Amino acid sequence: MSKPPNKRPGGRILPARRLIPQIEPQQQFDKIALAINEIYKHNVSQLSFEEYYRTAYNLVLSKNGSLLYNGVRTVLETHMRESLERDILQRAQTADANPTTENNEAFLFSVRLLWSEHVTAMLMIKDILMYVDNVYVKTAHLPSIYDMGMCVFRDTVLLASTGSSGLGMRVAKAVLRQISGERNGEEINRSTLQGISNMLVELRDTTSPMRTVYEVILEPQLLAESRVYYHDMAALRIKTMGASEYARAAQADLDAETDRVQTYLALTTAELLRGVLQDELVTAYAPDILTISDDGLTQMLDRRDIPALGVLYNIYSPLPQPLSVLRSGVMNHILALGGQITASLQASDSGEAKNGDTLQSKPGTTPEASLGAAAKTAMALRWVQDVLALYDVYDEFFHKSFNEGSSMRSAINDAFIEVINANNRAPELLSLFMDDNLKNGLKRKAEQDVDHLLERSVLMFRFLKNKDAFEHYYKVHLARRLLFARSESDDAEHSLVSKLKVECGSQFTLKLEGMFKDMQLSMDMARELRGSSEYSNLGLDLNVSVLTPTFWPATVPAPAPAQQSSSQAAAEQPTATNGKSNGEPMSVILPNGVLSDSVDAFSAYYLKHHSGRRLTWQYAMGNADLKVQFGARTHELNVSTYQMLILLLFVDDGSSSSAKALTTAEIQQLTHIPEEPLGRQLQSLACGKYRILNKTPKSRDVSPADSFTFNMDFKSPQYRIRIPVVSARSNIETEKEKAASQAVIGQERLYLIEAAIVRIMKTRKQMSHDMLVNETVSQLSSRFLPSSKMIKDGIGKLLDREYLQRSPEDPRLYHYLA
């Protein structure tokens, strides 16, 4: 076998290696050290940054990074010590010995200048030594060149021992002296302080790197000295200033310190320093400021000092305890003024009580006596107006002084809730106020003014705790407006009910809306009646309002009549229900003839179209227009139904007679008008402005033996005359009537409580006594606040009627029985 031929040895010829001149590492570093010194001398234009970068590169590449890094630190430390000795220490000593503003400024400026030059130099040095940062520093886990330079400044300059304390502490004291001088009105160089603060913020503490030197040596002293300064300032001011002046001074201090922080201190100091001022200027003297004699919170509120109150709120509102004090002060002032308003009303009630009792003890009341009743009504309306006016004042404070703060809104509302509900007649008076405005207060008012009036009314309604009591009175007043056409605006009536519906829900306004529906149905029925054949059988223009008893109040006191057609009110109810829905005797006698025939004809027409129903006529709620001839003169008299029945007694064979005389007792026997309203009707006809009847004797009181004759000599320049009914009382209830109303309201509340308990138990099936009571209160609180006793009574009745059952194991646990 033959062997392969031998290969020739091969290979590449490498180029000769370049000979790099060998330079000692120390020599290379000395070159960089020289460059650093030149940088500090501001001779950078003579330096080649590329050359020094390459030198640093070679040192790191040749494993001499440690020599370079430590050497640079040594150069920086040397330069800092020399600069400290040369430029700063002498100024520091001067500032300590003679701490004037100028000396402090010179010292701080020299420190700031050294810092500024050092930062500028370090930015250049780190660029030269960029390769050191990128390679050596990372592998050796050391601070970057720039950070190392910051540490050198901190340790060599600020933390160096220079006499009694380190330079950093002397810098802090100089800064504090400058701040103190500025607080006392001296002008300082804020730019220098800004530079010092920036320096201290940028440097990190040696023991806690997460904290800055600013937080260690300056901020604590600043806060401590500020606390002492403002503590002394507050103690002086509280003795010499009024509340408004004190508040303005405190606000000025807060603004000044905020500006100080934003201009030349660290922003982290803002909240801390503000807290110091708030503690010393506000919290420490919060109650004392408000009670400063002659110029405290009460005086500011009384004179409606909106700007001063605004300043006071601004310094109190961020702090829970002072804000609570301010809320209490405002609430107490509202309660005091509200108490005065209510006291004036109660004084009026007390002053008129005797007169009011006299009015109730007699069949009728003289016009002079009724002036006291009118005054009481005016006082009642005035109470609502004054309370709303007081609320308007505080609402203005809320918007203009209290920055619409929710805490102050709740304080104002809580106070007015207490003021309003302290008057146990508040539901009645508010309803009277609404009634008066809907009857008389909307004339020549723009739509927005009407809406504002309604909103104010609903606002006060919102503060009522016993809204069901308001509903009771509002139904009576609404019924009177609807039945006697006293309302000025149907739109306003419906708008107010809509607002109440928004406040309390549809259940609250169900009966009110039912009353409007009854009136509308009655008007529709009247139009249908006029188009029917039965209309000719009436014999007169008869308008009838057919009412659903469950919607309408049991009684509706009749005001002065105002309609222009004969009108009656009838109650519509199921045949199984007694027709005497309001206690008025059904035996009121109508004279034979047109009137009685018309009533019978209407009843027949109604029952023909509404089988299974029953009408109960309520004559006390009606009114009529009569044409009456006085000799040669004829007048149209607008009178109540009772007055009409009385006047018809004096008609003989179709002609008026002045000879016919009837006593009170005889009139009562012929008409069966109840005694109490009969006396008032006779007073209206014989003792008022329009004396249609002559009375013997000529006294203003009406007794059973008094005699009445028709006044043929009556004269008046007016053709149409309204005969107002003398009121037996003011529109405000007497104590007896109030007690009756409370009994009705109490009974209605019991029904509501029982219904609420049944609803709750039907859902829960079983509940403990305490939970049931709490849930019942929660459900009914929008209408009234039931007492525990009322709920307990309701539970007892439901147990008796077997809606509920006690648990055999736990008597305080109830089960619902389906």
**Is the same domain home to 70 and 154?**
yes
Least confident segment among 2-16, 47-61, 93-107:
2-16
The closest of 533, 612, 545, 619 to 582, measured between CA atoms, is 619
pLDDT band, very low/low/confident/very high, at 367 (cuts 50, 70, 90): very low
**Is the same domain home to 419 and 335?**
yes
β-bridge pairing 655-656 and 651-652: antiparallel
Distance CA 624, CA 642 (A): 9
Q: For position 312, what pLDDT does the model report? A: 96
Q: For position 160, what pLDDT does the model report? A: 73
Least confident segment among 264-268, 462-466, 658-662:
658-662
**Is the same domain home to 29 and 150?**
yes
Are 102 and 178 in contact, with CB atoms under 8 Å apart? Answer: no
**Is the same domain home to 694 and 770?**
no
Task: Check whether 533 has a pLDDT greater than 60.
Answer: yes
Are 103 and 177 in contact, with CB atoms under 8 Å apart? Answer: no
Q: For position 365, what pLDDT does the model report? A: 44
Instruction: Give the mean pLDDT of the chain.
Output: 85
Average pLDDT over residues 473-486: 88
Task: Check whether 254 has a pLDDT greater than 70.
Answer: yes
pLDDT band, very low/low/confident/very high, at 8 (cuts 50, 70, 90): low
Summarize pLDDT for 155-189 with one digit per residue, the tens. Answer: 999 987 655 568 899 999 999 999 999 999 999 99
Least confident segment among 112-116, 594-598, 693-697, 791-795:
594-598
* Residues spanned by the domain of 759: 735-816
- Selected residue with higher pLDDT from 756 and 450: 756
**Is the same domain home to 757 and 648?**
no
Task: Check whether 446 has a pLDDT greater than 90.
Answer: no
Q: Indicate whether 257 belongs to any domain.
A: no
Q: Indicate whether 73 belongs to any domain.
A: yes
Number of Cα atoms under 13 Å in the Cβ half of residue 483: 34
Q: For position 313, what pLDDT does the model report? A: 96
**Is the same domain home to 766 and 717?**
no
> Coil, strand or helix: which one is 510?
helix
Q: Indicate whether 282 belongs to any domain.
A: no
Summarize pLDDT for 311-354 with one digit per residue, the tens. Answer: 999 999 999 999 999 999 999 999 999 999 998 887 766 555 44
Distance CA 539, CA 541 (A): 7
Summarize pLDDT for 398-426 with one digit per residue, the tens. Answer: 999 999 999 999 999 999 999 999 999 99
In this structure, what token pair is assigned to residue 317?
């509102």
Summarize pLDDT for 750-790 with one digit per residue, the tens. Answer: 989 999 999 999 999 899 999 999 999 998 888 888 888 99
Q: Indicate whether 802 belongs to any domain.
A: yes
pLDDT band, very low/low/confident/very high, at 576 (cuts 50, 70, 90): very low
Give the total number of structural domains in the chain: 5
**Is the same domain home to 401 and 473?**
no
Look at the pTM and tell me if it is higher than 0.95.
no
Q: Indicate whether 267 belongs to any domain.
A: no
**Is the same domain home to 705 and 636?**
yes
pLDDT band, very low/low/confident/very high, at 117 (cuts 50, 70, 90): very high
**Domain end (from 454, 480, 508):** 508
DSSP classification of residue 160: S
pLDDT band, very low/low/confident/very high, at 525 (cuts 50, 70, 90): confident
